[in-house]
């Protein structure tokens, strides 16, 4: 990819993903990141997210159906799939597994600057004590040899929340158990009246 590249995630996109993971604490969960590259080409702006699955997250048919629906809906708004979110089943598991890499690879074919965000449960658990403003996620991007590599603020890539108070708002939502209201594609496929766009989540 070359050069400095920042990933800036909007508050609602960020909170929706964390709440989805909290709703299904005993399962691995995933989601997609939506957005665009800034006009200056050095920031990937993540403006929204869609929670995907909390069971059988590696099943291809459901994944393909959901990605087609998401792409169709957001393309009309001038927004693309720009990355992938994953939360592992085990609290202490910070490994980026094969399923996450494969889905990330698929997205990167269409969007070369794609990122994978992996939930850091320990950082999330410490949030109330630490009052940290940085996202509770690890950022993975493709290196020169096209492998997924964990990147931090010391490298050329950086993940930041667009709104500095995002973690404060997140803690507020956690305390009111707002995670119960999140709808993912699993929920939608079980009951199509449940809207995967989560239009009521932040009202």
Q: Is residue 172 part of a domain?
A: yes
Residue 148: give its domain's CATH number: 3.40.140.10
Q: Is residue 198 one of the residues assigned to a domain?
A: no
SS3 for 51-96, per residue?
ECCCCCCCCHHHHHHHHHHHHHHHHCCCCEEEEEEEECCCCCCCCC
**Residue 59 CB burial class (10 angstroms; 0-12, 13-18, ≥19):** exposed
| In-domain check, residue 200 | no
Share the mean pLDDT of the chain. 91
In a domain, 140, yes or no: yes
Say how far apart CA 72 and CA 86 lie, in whole Å: 22
Res 1: pLDDT = 42
Question: 70 and 64 in contact (C-beta within 8 Å)?
Answer: no
- Contact predicate 169/22, CB 8 Å: no
12 in a structural domain: yes
- Packed helices 166-175 and 11-23: angle between N→C axes, nearest 10 degrees: 30
pLDDT less than 50: residues of the chain: 1-2
Between CA 72 and CA 66 the distance in angstroms is 10
Q: Residue 178 domain-assigned?
A: yes
> DSSP 3-state helix, strand, coil percentages of the chain (rounded to 5)?
35, 25, 40
| Residue 159, domain member (yes or no) | yes
**Contact predicate 116/96, CB 8 Å:** yes
Give percent of the chain above pLDDT 70. 96
pLDDT of amino acid 2: 47
Inside any domain, residue 35: yes
pLDDT confidence of residue 153:
53
The number of distinct structural domains making up the chain is 1
- For the segment 107-165, what is each residue's pLDDT rounded down to a tens digit? 999 999 999 999 999 999 999 888 888 899 999 999 888 999 998 755 556 899 999 99
pTM: 0.94
């Amino acid at each position: 990819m070359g050069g400095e590249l920042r990933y800036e995630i909007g508050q609602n996109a960020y909170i929706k993903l964390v709440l989805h993971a909290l709703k299904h604490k005993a399962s691995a969960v995933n989601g997609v990141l939506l957005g665009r590259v800034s006009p200056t080409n050095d920031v990937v702006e993540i403006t929204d997210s869609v929670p995907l699955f909390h069971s059988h997250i590696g099943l291809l048919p459901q994944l393909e159906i959901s990605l087609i629906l998401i792409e169709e809906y957001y393309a009309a708004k001038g927004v693309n799939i720009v990355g992938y979110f994953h939360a592992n089943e085990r609290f202490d598991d910070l490994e980026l597994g094969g399923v996450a890499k494969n889905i990330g690879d698929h997205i990167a074919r269409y969007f070369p600057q794609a990122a994978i965000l992996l939930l850091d449960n320990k950082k999330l658990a410490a949030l109330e004590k630490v009052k940290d403003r940085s996202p509770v996620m690890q950022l993975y991007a493709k290196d020169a040899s096209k492998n997924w590599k964990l990147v931090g603020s010391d490298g050329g890539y950086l993940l930041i929340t667009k709104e500095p108070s995002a973690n404060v708002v997140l803690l507020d939502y956690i305390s009111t158990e707002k995670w119960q209201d999140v709808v993912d594609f699993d929920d939608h496929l079980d009951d199509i009246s449940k809207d995967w766009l989560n239009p009521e989540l932040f009202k």
